[in-house]
Structure 1
Amino acid sequence: MAQTEGTPPVIRVVLADDHEMVLHGVEAMLAHHADEVRVVGTATRSADALRVVASERPDVVLCDLRLGKESGLDLCREVKATNPDVHVVFLTVYEDEQYLYRALRAEASGYVVKRVDGTELVAHLRRVVDGEVVIDPLLAGRIAMSAAKLNAGEFWPGARLGLTQRESEVLALLVANHSNRGIAAKLVISEDTVKTHVRGVYRKLGVSDRGAAIALALREGLVQ
């Protein structure tokens, strides 16, 4: 479509999602806004997405957090490492703040939940191209509340990654090299309850074992 003088340039987008149906749905949704956005490529795997990005040089990569067994976060890091001028926006079903924080640490420019409609999505993409970081309004509200509590001294280490106060206590004791039995004794809870909290810590930190949880906790300053 010809560019009219004075109108903003068409945003060139690459879509990455491991579900073909989702790709077709998002592409069809954006087709209603062809004067503002054009999909220049799609991919279901990270390697394919990187090839399309290298050949098409889009303005934005719109991707999911999970690409089958691969991670959209890893894709984001690869895109930013090889094409720093390309913006990455996550379009996902995950509404947990922990995933948002991880996306932002991977240098994403946006995080939008899949309930968004076409008009809203195009507006988000325009803001990203204009240099803003866009966060889904629901999550932005939660983060604002978290920041208010943090400033009021009502929060605890690990809260910004979604850990509950008890999970933060368990993580601190893991870092201090306590066993599950030792943690149970310290906190006066059952060992099974400790195991439940430990699984929650692993899930929210995106790790699979104690060593990785301890390393991340120390790196991110989650223990005092």
Structure 2
Amino acid sequence: MPELPPTPLKLVLVDDHEMVLHGLDTMLGHFPDDVVIVGQSTTDTTALRMVAEQRPDIVLCDVRIGKASGLDLCRQITLQYPDTKVVLLTVYDDEHYLYQALRVGASGYILKRVDGRELVAQLCRVREGETVVDASLAGRVALAAARLHAGQFWSGAHLGLTQRESEVLGLLVSGHSNRAVAGKLVVSEDTVKTHIRGLYRKLGVSDRSAAIAVALREGLFR
């Protein structure tokens, strides 16, 4: 008896822009044998309810959903509904977000410039158990892994910190003021503040104590 073709994968779309949802609906509508959209949501709360009701194979969501976080939504879904996979579809071409996505259980990280046929192919790979990463980011991640293996990386590199941001964070952990950090690194205080804003953004924090807490929790400095 010939093998039956796989049933279309069930998909929930989550994005805070109705235009994006409409565009995805139209684009994926060209592949009815592969994908069926069982829900669309502009909020994380509605998305969770749809997952509970529809039990989709995959949730396709952005990194940011209005004021909410797609990363937090991903964590909730993977914990509460382990049979549902989450793929981030975003404009954020940033290794930091990719690392965070993988840490909270995402099965994929795809940039919104993908075309419909490639997106469907990636989603099918996810259903088969693969983890997919946009090709442009995958190359950078592979290079990062090679450098890490060779011992060429610094504390916090895996979190997306630059070497100078790592140096600044290490001095903050040691209790240095902005002025003292500037003196140590022989740069201006304004430059230090710029580095601090950058590392706050990458660590997902808003103040010094939270940044230090992340550094200590991650064991970045001993």
Q: CA deviation at 1:189?
A: 1.1
- Give the TM-score, by structure 2 length: 0.97
2:192 alignment partner AA: V
| Aligned match of 2:82 | 84
CA distance in 1, matches of 2:89, 2:166: 29
1:217 alignment partner AA: A
Q: CA deviation at 1:221?
A: 2.5
Q: CA deviation at 1:212?
A: 1.0
Unaligned runs of 5+ in 2: none
> For residues 175-186 of structure 1, what are the structure 2 equivalents within 5 Å?
175-186=173-184
Q: Is 1:38 the equivalent of 2:36?
A: yes
Q: 1:105 aligns with which of 96, 103, 106?
A: 103
Q: Is 1:125 the equivalent of 2:127?
A: no
Unaligned runs of 5+ in 1: none
Q: CA deviation at 1:9?
A: 1.9
User: Aligned to 2:176, what secondary structure does the other structure show?
Assistant: coil
| Aligned match of 1:68 | 66
Q: CA RMSD in A?
A: 1.1
2:173 alignment partner AA: V
Q: CA deviation at 1:95?
A: 0.7
CA distance in 2, matches of 1:5, 1:198: 58
| Aligned match of 1:204 | 202
User: Aligned to 1:160, what secondary structure does the other structure show?
Assistant: helix
- Give the TM-score, by structure 1 length: 0.96
| Aligned match of 1:192 | 190
Q: CA deviation at 1:5?
A: 4.9
| Aligned match of 2:48 | 50
Q: CA deviation at 1:215?
A: 1.0
Q: CA deviation at 1:202?
A: 0.3
1:128 alignment partner AA: V
Map Cα deviations across residues 173-195 of structure 1 (whole Å, 9 max, x no partner).
11111110111111111111111
User: Aligned to 1:89, what secondary structure does the other structure show?
Assistant: strand
Q: 1:155 aligns with which of 153, 156, 165?
A: 153
Q: CA deviation at 1:160?
A: 1.6
CA distance in 2, matches of 1:222, 1:15: 36
